[in-house]
Amino acid sequence: MKGFLAVIALAFSLAGNAQEKYPVKPLRIIVPFAPGGSTDIFARLVAERLSSSLAQSVVVENRAGASGNIGAEAVAKSAPDGYTVLMATTGVMAINNALFKGMNYDAAKDLEPVVFIASITNVLAVPLDLPAKNVMELVALAKKEPGKLTFASSGAGSSTHLSAELLKSMAGIDVVHVPFKGSGQALIDVVAGRVSMIIDNMPSALPHIKGGRLRALGVTGSKRSSALPEVPTIAEAGVPGYESLSWSGFALPAGAPREVVQRLSRETNAILADTGMKQKLAEQGADAVGGPPEAFAKHVRAEREKWSRLVQERGIVVN
């Protein structure tokens, strides 16, 4: 009996040691977009502190292209050992599988949510010379001349594109999509009045709004943003039930060891709970979220269902 108990104790000891050993080499966080955007900024903020807490180097690698699919696929097909981490976003986790045909990965099967990092309120903005001072005036203008107004996005299939499609659906308006290769160029054309409106991530749109180059009509969250407290939500401005947030978090290849998922989640949650980190994210117009892997997985499933339904109902096609 003593020998049996000794074997059991040894097994538990080895399991504990295996858990404590992770990580034994540097980690890579794959950001599926170009440097400088909100996803990249958040990844680098967390990576810096994660490197200290894990006592290992944590490198951020940008693999942009195909609306995030190139980077996401690279992670989905990597070894499920916890050393290749995806900075997962609304698009790659909840939208792209509904939009793109012939994809080489399935986010629902090939990627495992680990921790919800940040949620970003988007903002509906228009050029200063557009004769619409609030959301309902914009809706009225669009209904008066169907198909005349245009909206910019950071790319076909992006969360900014789908946010506007959701507004079109719920407000019953016809506005033509003008996709760009990123928010930077899209915002330039909206400021210049070449495009009628944009629903963009708060971090990139805020300087233009604060600088008096764009007029903010509404924010897309369920509550007002501390960055623009005077701007109502689109829901309270006349489109009840409207909500569209951009979000990001960590995901690992499916099949990653449970203890690895839990360790990465635990360390990231500790970082997100820090007042300084919350402040840094708030400065970018984002809220730190956190929570266990199960909570992030539940959120991803709900978002996937919401956006897939919209894509199907609206017949949205990305070439």
Domains 25-120+245-314 and 121-219 share a fold: yes
pLDDT in tens, the chain (319 residues): 445 444 444 444 444 444 458 999 999 999 998 887 788 999 999 999 999 999 999 999 999 888 889 999 999 999 999 999 999 999 899 999 998 888 899 999 999 999 999 999 999 999 999 999 999 999 999 999 999 999 999 887 888 899 999 999 999 999 999 988 778 889 999 999 999 999 998 888 999 999 999 999 999 999 999 889 999 999 999 999 999 999 999 999 999 999 999 999 999 999 999 999 999 998 888 899 999 999 999 999 999 999 999 999 888 877 6
Q: In the chain, what are the domain boundaries?
A: 25-120+245-314, 121-219
Residues 92, 107: contact at Cβ < 8 Å?
yes
pLDDT at residue 236, rounded to an integer: 97
Which CATH number applies to 25-120+245-314: 3.40.190.150, 3.90.1580.10, 3.90.110.10, 3.40.190.10? 3.40.190.150
Structure tokens at 308: 């897939």
Taking the domain 121-219, which CATH number applies?
Answer: 3.40.190.10
Phi, psi values for residue 270, rounded to 5°? -65, -40
Query: What's the pTM?
Result: 0.82
Backbone torsion region of residue 50, taken as left when φ is above 0, otherwise alpha when ψ lies between -120 and 50, otherwise beta:
alpha
